[in-house]
Amino acid sequence: RAKRNGKLMARSSGFLIDWDEGSKEGTVLTSARIICSKYTALTQWSGTDEYVPDAEIIAHLLDEDETTVPAILFRYDKHINIAVLKVNLDLCAKIPRFSSDINYGQEILVLGRDERLNMTIAHGCVNFMGPTTYERHHYLFTGCEPSIGGMVIDFDGHVLGMANFPGTAYIPSSIVLKCLDMWKKFQCIPRLHIGMKLSPIKFLDPIHVERIFRKCNIDSGLIVKEVSHGSIAEELGVRPGDVVDSVNGECVATTVELENLIMRICENHLDQGGAIGSCMDILVGILHMRKGRKGPRHTLSLRLNVSDDVEVFISDF
């Protein structure tokens, strides 16, 4: 739990991802909501959420003595909505194993804690759906109300991700592991703000997918739901209804695939001497859709800023 000026701000589950036997220091993964003092319930794209990185954080170890210890905020990311804490653990700790082998429709368990710190276990499955226009691109969904910060596991106990806000959303392990690796290499999580809200064709209902295929001869890609006002994408003529089918020549079928690809592109950029705040060009394959009909396909070059801050989306009302 986190406190500010003695008042409770938020509670969150969390789990160990590393433990040093020599120093007895544990590394805990949790949601950045633990230090969020103000958040916008309607959309995650507003950029108006407020964070208190110097909040007092207390970790409940849930051992036989119900020990509580101070937790130190090590890193957090407002866009991905994850945080890493450091705690002293004078006990033997077992570290869970991550797995990136996630199949849509796969049965899963979501672990967490209630307000009395009792374990909660919810049974769900990886839903066939993409994010709404209010949710970030890096989420998958469980179909059950999870405990924020809790583990999403398969029936073999492997961690498939971390439950997070909003609703039934969770961050898949592929994104979590890439974030941890970026923090280790660069002390930040670089991203490109592409200025589009996207939704995968493959998760539409079959009737809709068949209609798109019949009229446009495509059955994969990301439908542009909104374009951020003033963005490079808008300036280059991208409009709602267009379809993104590739980035830098690689096909993208889901928004999670897109997020993984974008972070990999940024990682290569920093490995080659680039920096946060620099610009880089990415090639985006766009199929223009006008009045429900397939128009020309273009490869657009988007010059984007490499940022480690939250992406803000500006709607054109």
Cα 110 from Cα 114, distance rounded (Å): 13
Name the phi and psi angles at 174, rounded to 5: -60, -40
Q: Is the pLDDT of residue 309 over 90?
A: yes
What pLDDT, on the 0 to 100 scale, is given for residue 34?
A: 92
> Coil, helix or strand for 9?
strand
All domains of the chain, ordered by start, with CATH? 2-88 (2.40.10), 106-185 (2.40.10.10), 191-307 (2.30.42.10)
pLDDT tens, residue by residue, 73-112: 999 999 999 999 999 987 777 899 999 999 999 999 999 9
What pLDDT, on the 0 to 100 scale, is given for residue 292?
A: 62
Residue with the larger pLDDT of the pair 259 and 8: 259
Residue with the larger pLDDT of the pair 103 and 40: 103
pLDDT tens, residue by residue, 187-240: 999 999 999 999 999 999 899 899 888 888 888 999 999 999 999 999 999 999
* pTM, 2 dp: 0.92
HEC secondary structure over 82-99: EEEEEEECCCCCCCCCEC
What pLDDT, on the 0 to 100 scale, is given for residue 279?
A: 95
pLDDT tens, residue by residue, 275-308: 999 999 999 999 988 766 677 789 999 999 999 9
